[in-house]
Amino acid sequence: MSRQSVEVAKKFGASLPSFQDLAIATRYFTALREDRLFKLSKLVAETGALSLDFSPDRLKRIETWYFDLHERSGFENLGTNRNSLEEYMATYFGEVVVRNVPGTA
């Protein structure tokens, strides 16, 4: 790893949250996950395009929904932005994996 890469990694690491213990970190990330999933389900419901059932097949449909929004520059119309929606979708993807792939929880 180059010196510049190390500096970038250190700077990024310094921006991450830190926690006193595992229990506090678990509560924080659980709340973050629940908040993101709630926001995504709300956005999806507003468009009426699909529902979220945490099935692997739903990932294909949410991808189509996302790219349709992207092509129409529709993020702002939903009251969000591309970066936030992608964070919500990444969280949803992770939840789909945890619920459907044994040993990933």
User: Tell me: the pLDDT tens digits for 73-103?
Assistant: 888 888 899 999 999 999 999 999 999 999 9
pLDDT confidence of residue 72? 87
d(CA 102, CA 105): 8
CB-count burial class (<10 Å; 0-12, 13-18, 19+) for 37: middle
**Within a domain: residue 14?**
no
Whether the predicted pLDDT of 58 surpasses 80: yes
Give me the number of domains the chain comprises: 1
pTM of the model: 0.83
**Within a domain: residue 3?**
no
**Within a domain: residue 15?**
no
Quick one: what percent of the chain has pLDDT higher than 70?
100
**Within a domain: residue 24?**
no
For residue 43, the enclosing domain spans 29-100
